[in-house]
Amino acid sequence: ADNTVYRASTTAPVNIAVVKYWGKRDAKLNLPTNSSLSVTLAQSDLRTLTTASCSATYPEGDTLILNGEPSDVSGARTQACFRELRARRAALEAADPSLPKLSTMPLRIVSENNFPTAAGLASSAAGFAALVRAIANLYELPASPSELSLIARQGSGSACRSLFGGYVAWRMGEKADGSDSLAVQVAEASHWPEMRALILVVSAAKKGVSSTSGMQQTVATSGLFKERIATVVPKHMEAMEKAIKERDFATFAEITMRDSNSFHATCADTYPPIFYMNDVSRAAIRAVEQINDAAGRTVAAYTFDAGPNAVIYYLEQDTDIVVGTLYSVLGAGIDGWKQSIVESLKQPAVT
Ligand code: PMV
């Protein structure tokens, strides 16, 4: 009998969208109502490290340890990822009977985040990207990052973008089976090496309304949302890709801020309204406006996910005016800033 424990480890970074994914057209397959675009925060401390192992000697059933705690694997999202990865491994085993039958063995996943879970810091993105790549490595699947993104998407939509470093688009696709709803790299991180991101952690508490139920409520009750997906996002996607290609920070920043505002406006337009930003978040918006006004050009851009924490994009050469001013404006006057993490985007994320 084969008593071997087969094992593979990987890490995946978080990504922060500059054109937001918000809304599902198919909740089961995690198919989005719109395309989105993000920056992968590579070389950062915001990562998930995951080890996947399997063995015929493991007791029955797949298990997951998340940050040291046994975690549920029976959820439909996790099950979908396991099922897709096992099916691909089973196909390899059918084609080559000399391969060990890993697809039939229980899986044991051990995963650590080094940042607060579910605090609007995209933990599910890094988490499912790492989970899918760890198992794909364990199974020795000959899959490209875009192919793996199709699987990670079913775990958490935004996770499909964490399979790539740099600037990443998630193309919404058209097909009902989701086979064309995948992530592609728009540009390497090295294309724009001066890009930096600063994360202002307002609160590390778990967010109030999950992205899944927030999206569901927005799609069901917001009229503004229809306008967002029909005209606003397509325009933002086109302008953002052009701005990235041309390394045009002023346009990159304006679209980033407009898209964040548009997303949060649709949340406020739901019934009842959803508020992810708080007073401290709004103070960060004012501070960025002040910095840009004082500089006489756009040197900083804010964006917020489904939580109160701000991500500020800026260029390396403007570090002093952006970071210096933020610390003095926000640090002195507001109690809410628990910690701040300076991110560097120097290297591509995927190893
Ligand atoms: O991947 P999910 O289901 O947690 O959704 C993420 C949604 C946002 O973070 C708000 C936007 C995005 O594109 O990442």
Q: What is the DSSP string of 63-100?
A: EEEETTEEE---SHHHHHHHHHHHHHHHHHHHH-TTS-
Nearest CA to ligand 1 atom 9: 305
Averages of pLDDT over runs of 10 residues in the chain (351 residues) are: 95 95 97 97 81 97 94 95 98 98 98 68 84 98 97 97 96 98 96 89 74 97 98 98 98 98 98 93 93 97 92 92 82 43 41 35
How high is the ipTM of this complex? 0.99
Query: What per-residue confidence (pLDDT) applies to 244?
Result: 98
| pLDDT value at residue 117 | 56
CA 242 remoteness from chain centre: 21
Please tell me if the domain spanning 6-189 has the same topology as the one spanning 195-344: no
Ligand 1 binding pocket includes 21 (Cβ within 6 Å): yes
Question: Is the Cβ atom of 111 under 6 angstroms away from ligand 1?
Answer: no
CA–centroid distance, 93 to ligand 1, in Å, is 35
Is 218 close to ligand 1, i.e. is its CB under 6 Å away?
A: no
CA separation, residue 295 to residues 26, 107, 133, 255 (Å): 44, 54, 43, 19
How far apart CA 52 and CA 46 sit, in angstroms, is: 20
CA distances from 12 to 70, 165, 260 (A): 21, 10, 24
CA neighbor of 321 nearest in space, from 167, 198, 193? 198
CA–CA distance, 12 with 162 (Å, rounded to integer): 7
> Which pLDDT belongs to residue 339?
42
Direct distance between the N- and C-terminal alpha carbons of the chain, in angstroms, rounded to an integer: 34
Atom of ligand 1 nearest to the CA of 159: 1
Ligand 1 pocket: which of 14, 15, 22 to mutate (most atoms within 8 A of CB) = 22
Q: Is 322 in the pocket of ligand 1 (CB under 6 A)?
A: no
Helix (H, G, I), strand (E, B) or coil at 303: strand
The CATH H-level (homologous superfamily) assignment of domain 195-344 is: GHMP kinase, C-terminal domain (3.30.70.890)
Q: How far apart are CA 44 and CA 16, in angstroms?
A: 12
Tokens at 285, concatenated: 């918006």
Closest CA to 183 of 210, 214, 156, 213: 156
- The pLDDT assigned to 326 comes to 83
Which ligand 1 atom is the nearest neighbour of the CA of 305?
10
Write down the domain spans for the chain. Answer: 6-189, 195-344
pLDDT of residue 149: 98
- Counting atoms of ligand 1 from 1, which one is nearest the CA of 263? 10
**With a 6 A CB cut-off, is 306 part of the ligand 1 pocket?**
yes
| Ligand 1 centroid – CA 21 distance (Å) | 6
| Candidate CATH numbers 3.20.20.100, 3.40.50.2000, 3.30.230.10, 3.40.50.1000; the one for domain 6-189 | 3.30.230.10
Q: How does DSSP classify residue 270?
A: S
Give pairs for 132-135: CB < 8 Å, separation 24+. 132/81, 132/85, 132/159, 132/163, 133/10, 133/12, 133/50, 133/163, 134/8, 134/9, 134/10, 134/50, 134/51, 134/52, 134/109, 135/8, 135/52, 135/81, 135/82, 135/85, 135/107, 135/109
3-class DSSP state for residue 169?
Answer: strand
- Does 262 contact ligand 1 (Cβ within 6 A)? no
pTM of this structure: 0.93
